[in-house]
């Protein structure tokens, strides 16, 4: 009886640990901010980059990898979107310009992105590992990231590159809804929330992103082809690239991801 009780408590603890949503305060707020849930990882911490076109599902996979493997999702897009909630006077000229780039669907200049990432380099040193989502996005950013890793004596485990035909990506972006509080990602058809318009995790409002308008999506896809797609070769040459077909449900893609990592002993 006592043994059964202990087993059930352990099972509940493991579930709480593996499904806990870290608030990512250290990453989203920068400076001295601390995350409310301490970093944890199941086994060895993973240090991964997620690559792929806008809307292919990187954020969705990052959330699943975080829940099941414990590393924290570090999305540069989320940091810029969080800066939107600052009032005009609190935004530096660089951040104001970055938000304008995002609205149009263009890439934010490398210097602004790199300064923002450097201010948060303690997240890269986090003992729970990390999932870099949306960074690096240019060869210059990838080279700068290599320098940050070298300075901190960190090795990248792998770069997961998600691939999907463009018409399917556009359909994913059209139905995307994002929580305005915890940034969880939903889709009105393929991943709806339990209550329409309300986040399952925190009760926040689900909103449509400004850069999911068709004209901004076109600019984002062009920027991806021009500046980000060459990164696949950059990481392939270093033996780090794992290509993952992004067809199918988020669960199926997660299984594919987990198998690919396991095959490499990651
Ligand atoms: P960022 O926030 O990084 O956006 P992105 O790369 O454009 O990627 P998304 O977040 O749009 O898509 P995703 O691949 O994460 O897909 P998701 O999981 O949401 O960047 C935004 C902007 O910030 C940039 O344009 C730029 O201006 C700036 N920026 C950021 N980083 C920068 C950098 N390093 N350098 C310069 N500028 C930078 O999925 C999409 C939808 O599909 C969701 O609704 C989801 O529910 C659904 N879905 C996911 N998987 C599936 C599936 N398997 N089946 C069906 N539906 C699915």
Residue nearest to atom 54 of ligand 1 (CA): 249
Beta bridge partners of 243: 161
Give the pLDDT confidence of 134-193 residue by residue, as tens digits.
999 999 999 999 999 999 999 999 999 999 998 899 989 999 999 988 888 899 998 999
Regarding predicted confidence, which is higher, 214 or 197?
A: 197
Gap from CA of 69 to ligand 1 centroid (Å):
21
Q: What is the mean pLDDT of residues 22-31?
A: 84
- Distance CA(158)–CA(219), nearest Å, equals 28
If pLDDT is split at 50, 70 and 90, which confidence band does 8 have? very low
Give the pLDDT of residue 70. 85
Supply the residue whose CA is at minimum distance from atom 44 of ligand 1. 176
User: Rounded to an integer, what distance in angstroms lies between the CA atom of residue 65 and that of residue 97?
Assistant: 32
Find the angle CA(41)-CA(46)-CA(47) to the nearest 5 degrees.
Answer: 135
Instruction: Choose among 250, 214, 196, 199: nearest CA to 54.
Output: 214
Q: Which of 24, 52, 61, 76 to mutate to test the pocket of ligand 1 (most atoms within 8 A of CB)?
A: 76
């Amino acid at each position: 009886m006592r043994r059964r009780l202990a087993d059930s408590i352990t099972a509940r603890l493991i579930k709480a640990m593996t499904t806990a949503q870290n608030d990512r305060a250290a990453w989203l707020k920068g400076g001295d901010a601390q995350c409310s849930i301490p970093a944890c990882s199941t086994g060895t911490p993973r240090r991964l980059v997620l690559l792929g076109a806008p809307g292919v599902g990187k954020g969705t996979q990052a959330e699943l990898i975080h829940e099941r493997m414990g590393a924290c999702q570090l999305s540069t897009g989320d940091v810029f979107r969080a800066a939107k909630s600052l009032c005009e006077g609190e935004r530096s000229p660089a951040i104001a310009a970055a938000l304008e780039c995002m609205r149009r669907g263009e890439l934010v200049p490398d210097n602004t992105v790199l300064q923002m990432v450097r201010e948060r380099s303690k997240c890269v040193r986090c003992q729970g590992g990390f999932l870099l989502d949306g960074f690096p996005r240019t060869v210059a950013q990838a080279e700068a990231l290599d320098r940050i890793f070298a300075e901190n004596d960190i090795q990248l485990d792998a770069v997961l590159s998600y691939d999907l035909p463009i018409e399917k990506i556009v359909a994913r972006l059209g139905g995307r809804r994002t929580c305005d509080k915890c940034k969880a990602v939903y889709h009105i058809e393929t991943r709806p929330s339990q209550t329409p318009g309300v986040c399952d995790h925190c009760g926040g409002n689900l909103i449509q992103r400004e850069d999911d308008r068709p004209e901004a999506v076109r600019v984002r896809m062009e920027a991806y082809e021009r500046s980000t797609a060459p990164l696949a070769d950059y990481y392939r040459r270093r033996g780090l690239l794992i290509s993952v077909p992004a067809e199918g449900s988020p669960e199926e893609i997660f299984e594919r991801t987990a198998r690919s990592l396991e095959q490499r002993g990651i």
